[in-house]
A and B are shown apart, each in its own frame.
Chain A
Amino acid sequence: MKPLAITAGTVLSAIGQGLAATENALLSRRSGLTPCDFAGITTGYVGCVPQAGAHVLEGAAPGFTCRNNQLADMACAQDGFAQTVQNACQFYGAHRIAVVLGTSTSGILSAEDAYEALDPVTGFPPKEFDQAHTQDLFSLPRFVAARLGLEGPLLSVSNACASSSRAFVDARHWLEAGLCDAVVVGGADSLCRMTLRGFAALGLVSAEPTCPCDGQRAGISVGEGAGFVLLEREGERPDAAVMGRWVGYGVSSDGHHMSSPDPLARGAVAAMRQALERAGLDTAQLDYINLHGTGTVVNDAMEDHAVHALFGRNVPCSSTKGWTGHTLGASGIIEAMFALVMMRAGFAPGCLNVRQIDPTFRSHVLTETLHRPVRRVMSNAFGFGGTNCSLIFESV
């Protein structure tokens, strides 16, 4: 593929607000996980952004107020993101900048709260419940477009935990088809009762902080967060400062099971292989793989199998879920930003909380920080429904 330029980017998760705080937490191996105490639920640990609930939205209709948009709004205000988008707006025109965002549950916490306060006679949710601007999946891009003053076409991508990763691919389709000149790509997902209870019902929530790739791993810690990049054609806007390049992607389905990955990893291997092919790279040209690495028994085993099948032990890999928890639909953009942070600072972090790497694993799993230049990173995301996305980023 023709590489696309990332000309602005920001990230928000339990480990910090913005790129500098994120880099600091990754380098100092400081996890953001805390014992879960959310909406009366106390199972396991969470990667919570504690400021989100009290955050007041800027510059958009108050009807958009929900935890998911609060996270998105906080992210918009970081790292000069909104300002760079304004500069691009002046260059291209607001109607030439699209917004393509991923979320798995949007503002469903608002619907959960509404169900706690139904009218006992009519069964109606309370008047304050604005379904279209909170719970509905389209709420997120509508809010972000209003917040940033953008007038290009909008899209909500909801492919479970691969949502904001897959959003890059959908953004590229619109960009390459000429429907826009730049795209705000990313996403947000927020803590809610549904995911906390739902993953617990599936037996997938770890009682201890999640420890991806450990032999004793016992599931995920649910997290939340948001992140955005501005994606443009290379060399199109002379004043743009390029943070990184997006050079390859692969997308696939498992066609296997709704909530268990294919143990043979055919879909995951296909996504990673396509990503290499599109980037015109061979395996030796990658410096690091940021695993989806959720910390569940089956995901990590499947992914190790897939990574080993393609790369053997030649490329170091790790999961950053020990820092943030599994931020579900936001994990793709959050980890894409981690990749940019690592390439800029020259390091690859080892998995957190690992006592012993799963002895059956055969890929090169890091458990300590590797300090060395990182030029290219592959970033994986897989989701329920058997949806896979693998992205490759390159430093400038």
Chain B
Amino acid sequence: MQVVVQGVSVWGPGLSGWLHAARILRGQEDWVSAPVQVPPAACLPANERRRCGPLTRLAIALAEEACAQAGVKAADIRGVFASSNGDGAVVDSILTALSTPGGEVSPTQFHNSVHNASAGYWTIGHASLAPVVALGCYDWSFAQGLLKAAAECVVENTPVLFVAYDMPIPGPIGKVRITQNTFGCAFVLAPQATQHGLCMLDITHAPEAMVQETALPPHLAELARGNPAAGGLELLQKIACGQKGTVYLACQPGTILVEVTPC
């Protein structure tokens, strides 16, 4: 499957948006760990902004930047939102409430607990009727999500916004499902080249597991291991450097091969 990357975004520790992250990925600036502070979700009305949590703010910041860079209207673009953990803080809070006498659950938290909550807020923020799917694929959400987004882009023959985002889970579940950091990335994929194209991706799936030595410097490789969404870092590095080459992404089962060709 061939798709053209028209817009990109990254937010993670010490990576504040694409322009900043791209300099670090190209080695033009040193990476310095820093807490992730995404811009407020300006698209949402005040009420909804109060109700949504940091995971949704992360997803919306990523989606906004990728769409702006691609020059596509947020209200028109189909979405594929992939998150392994979903909103762990909301789920932990509901599980805690359920295990206390009475077991009363907050109605707002309950509707925020659906896995497509961030996607829902994104469409509410832009009064969008365009469809968005919410995926959750454990350690492989970036790879399975990219495979899904590229297929949708090619088959529907229309641009697709792909957002991968995850945060550590607090509470008891977070003790067994460990996510080290907050990380997200987003891509606007288009079925054919336009003036905005950054690079072309040729994506194939191989049923067998294949490994490739990472080209990332140690601190970024560490980041990539610490969050399912950061599985995209190697691909992001190739895009930032305008470098031709193939990225191997472990998926379930097998491997996704992404051949990157700068436009």
List chain A positions with a Cβ less than 8 A from chain B. Answer: 41, 95, 104, 108, 111-112, 114-116, 118, 122-125, 129, 131-132, 135-138, 142, 145, 151-160, 166, 169-170, 172-174, 176-177, 179, 193-194, 197-203, 251-259, 266-267, 270, 383-388
Contacts and interface: CB of A to CB of B under 8 A. Distances in A.
B111 A137 contact: no
Contacts of A137: 86, 115, 136-138
Contacts of A201: 104-107, 110
Contacts of A153: 144, 147, 205, 251-254
13 contacts: A95-B207, A95-B253, A123-B172, A155-B137, A159-B133, A160-B116, A170-B133, A197-B98, A197-B110, A256-B127, A258-B51, A259-B111, A385-B114
A104 B100 CA distance: 23
A253 B252 contact: no
A252 B134 CA distance: 13
Interface of B: 1, 48, 51, 75, 84, 86, 91, 94-96, 98-99, 103-107, 110-117, 119-121, 123-124, 126-138, 140, 144, 147-148, 150-152, 154-156, 171-173, 175-177, 205, 207, 251-254
B117 A202 contact: no
Contact of B98 (A115, A131, A138, A253): A115
Nearest to B172: A125
A117 B140 CA distance: 29
Given A197-B103, A202-B110, A255-B129, A158 B95 contact: no
A142 B252 contact: yes
Contact of B130 (A41, A194, A252, A383): A252
Given A114-B172, A131-B173, A156-B136, A173 B115 contact: no
Given A112-B98, A158-B136, A136 B175 contact: no
B123 A136 contact: no
A387 B116 contact: yes
A115 B126 contact: no
Given A154-B144, A251-B131, A177 B155 contact: yes
A151 B1 CA distance: 20
Contact of B113 (A118, A132, A194): A194
Residue with the greatest number of chain A CB neighbours at <10 A, chosen from B136, B154, B173? B136
B135 A253 contact: no
A193 B103 contact: yes
Contact of B114 (A176, A193, A384): A384
Given A198-B105, A255-B126, A257-B124, A115 B95 contact: yes
A296 to B, nearest CB: 13
Contact of B176 (A104, A131, A179, A199): A131
B99 A116 contact: yes
Given A131-B177, A201-B106, 19 more contacts: A118-B99, A125-B175, A131-B176, A135-B173, A137-B86, A138-B252, A153-B205, A153-B251, A153-B254, A158-B115, A194-B95, A197-B98, A198-B111, A201-B105, A253-B123, A258-B111, A387-B116, A387-B119, A387-B132
Nearest to A173: B151
A258 B124 contact: yes
A384 B111 contact: yes
Contact of B120 (A108, A203, A270, A384): A384
A136 B107 contact: no
A118 B103 CA distance: 16
Residue with the greatest number of chain B CB neighbours at <10 A, chosen from A115, A193, A383? A115
B115 A160 contact: yes
Contact of B94 (A135, A136, A194): A194
A125 to B, nearest CB: 5
Nearest to B109: A198
Nearest to A389: B131
Contacts of B140: 138
Contacts of B150: 177
Contact of A255 (B94, B124, B144, B177): B124
A132 to B, nearest CB: 6
B133 A386 contact: no
A116 to B, nearest CB: 5
Contacts of A131: 173, 176-177
Nearest to A172: B155
A202 B114 CA distance: 14
